[in-house]
């Protein structure tokens, strides 16, 4: 199921532009009663139909969330421009040059290192208040290259150049890898070795792929297969105060403890670091409840000193737990007010900018 946060954000974006979202919702074949039922999620087929309808109806694959419009079909033309490339690195560089042709469009930039590389996504965040375009571009530029090379590309880290949004906990399901906020860039970190992988798709397979893309890319499960991702998923199946030991994890993954340590080292992380990140992820969830004191949260997460929790959280999120709580509550209040507005607008206002 697609969380409602990823449904409501593009609808708000188009409504701000005066688009009749009720009409597009009906054209997507969705019951109108669900439009304002913000507790109801969509399945992957419904979401694919909705996003495709929104892009076609607005004639903008960026849905007004970027400085420049990306007319419907732009992504398709980019795919056709890169399908003849020999390697993933070749394809990413060509995609970078393609989008650089459009002034004001989000741009891609590949920073290649000896062992680790970053695919950096740059765009004007002032047009993207809910960060939906950032989230979409991150997801697309991991899932689409994975499809190109016909294997899940290990995703080692995700960086976001904005503060954690109220739905930041959903990022773990979306990316299944550590996510850092308040970074200098928005990026995907991948092993440099995957850049040499050959393009496995053909013009024929691309034709079938584009029948529902890029809408269905957002609804696809994460293809990421790194050891880091496996541990993240495993940790999320346990209470934060009962996480399995390294020996137990190695047994579950059917590898030796030494092999597990080596694989995590190759991915620039460690068992303890992932365990700590899981505790801090739970802290973000608990901080959204103002009735739970920060001292209590620290104790629940196993920190013997609140000051140790403060230092760890600030290093991870770039702000103190108290600042994170206040920012999250303020953002949630603004979001609730924005979501409530459509229910009280006169019918004719939906067509006004």
Query: pLDDT tens digit string along 222-254?
Result: 776 678 778 887 888 888 888 999 999 999 999
CA 180 → CA 85, 158, 314, 333, distances in Å? 32, 6, 11, 24
Query: How far apart, in whole angstroms, are the C-alpha atoms of residue 324 and residue 163?
Result: 9
Q: 200, 253 in Cβ contact below 8 A?
A: no
Please give the model's pTM, rounded to 2 decimal places. Answer: 0.69
Q: How confident is the prediction for the chain on average, in pLDDT?
A: 86
Average pLDDT estimate for 35-54:
86
User: Band of the pLDDT at 335, cuts 50, 70, 90?
Assistant: low
Task: Indicate whether 96 pLDDT > 90.
Answer: yes
What is the C-alpha separation between 251 and 240, in angstroms, rounded?
Answer: 19
Average pLDDT over residues 64-77: 92
**What's the pLDDT at 138?**
96
What is the CATH superfamily name and number for domain 227-329? Homeodomain-like (1.10.10.60)
Q: Please state, in angstroms and as integers, the Cα–Cα distance from residue 49 to each residue in 17, 45, 54, 218, 346, following that order.
A: 21, 6, 9, 11, 27
Mean pLDDT of 204-230: 78
Q: Name the nearest CA neighbour of 49 among 30, 67, 36.
A: 30
Looking at the chain, the domain(s) classified CATH 1.10.10.60 span: 227-329
The answer to whether 122 touches 196, Cβ cutoff 8 Å, is no
Give pLDDT tens digits for 165-190. Answer: 988 888 877 887 878 999 999 999 99
């Amino acid at each position: 199921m697609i969380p409602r946060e990823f449904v409501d954000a593009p609808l708000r974006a188009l409504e701000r532009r005066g688009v009749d979202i009720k009409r597009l919702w009906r054209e997507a074949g969705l019951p109108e009663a669900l439009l304002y039922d913000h507790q109801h999620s969509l399945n992957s087929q419904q979401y694919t139909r909705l996003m495709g309808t929104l892009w076609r109806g607005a004639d903008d694959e960026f849905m007004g969330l970027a400085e420049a419009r990306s007319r419907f079909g732009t992504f398709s033309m980019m795919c056709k421009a890169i399908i003849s490339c020999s390697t993933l690195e070749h394809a990413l560089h060509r995609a970078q040059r393609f989008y650089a042709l459009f002034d004001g469009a989000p741009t891609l930039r590949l920073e290649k290192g000896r062992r680790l590389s970053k695919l950096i996504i740059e765009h004007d965040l002032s047009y993207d208040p809910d960060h939906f375009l950032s989230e979409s571009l991150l997801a697309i530029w991991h899932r689409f290259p994975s499809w190109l090379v016909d294997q899940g590309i290990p995703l080692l880290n995700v960086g976001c150049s904005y503060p954690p949004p109220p739905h930041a906990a959903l990022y773990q399901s979306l990316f299944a890898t550590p996510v850092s906020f308040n970074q200098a860039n928005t990026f995907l970190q991948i092993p440099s070795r995957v850049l040499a992988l050959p393009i496995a798709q053909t013009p024929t397979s691309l034709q079938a792929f584009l029948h529902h893309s890029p809408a269905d890319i957002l609804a696809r499960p994460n293809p990421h297969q790194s050891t880091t991702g496996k541990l993240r998923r495993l940790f999320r199946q346990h209470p934060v105060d009962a996480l399995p030991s390294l020996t137990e994890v190695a047994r579950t993954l059917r590898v030796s403890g030494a092999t597990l340590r080596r694989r995590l080292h190759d991915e620039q992380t460690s068992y303890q670091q992932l365990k700590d990140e899981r505790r801090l992820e739970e802290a973000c969830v608990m901080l959204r409840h103002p009735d739970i004191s920060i001292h209590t949260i620290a104790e629940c997460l196993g920190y013997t000193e609140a000051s140790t929790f403060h230092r760890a959280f600030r290093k991870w999120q770039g702000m103190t737990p108290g600042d994170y709580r206040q920012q999250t509550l303020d953002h949630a209040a603004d979001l609730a007010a924005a979501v409530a507005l459509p229910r009280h607008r006169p019918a004719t206002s939906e067509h006004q900018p």
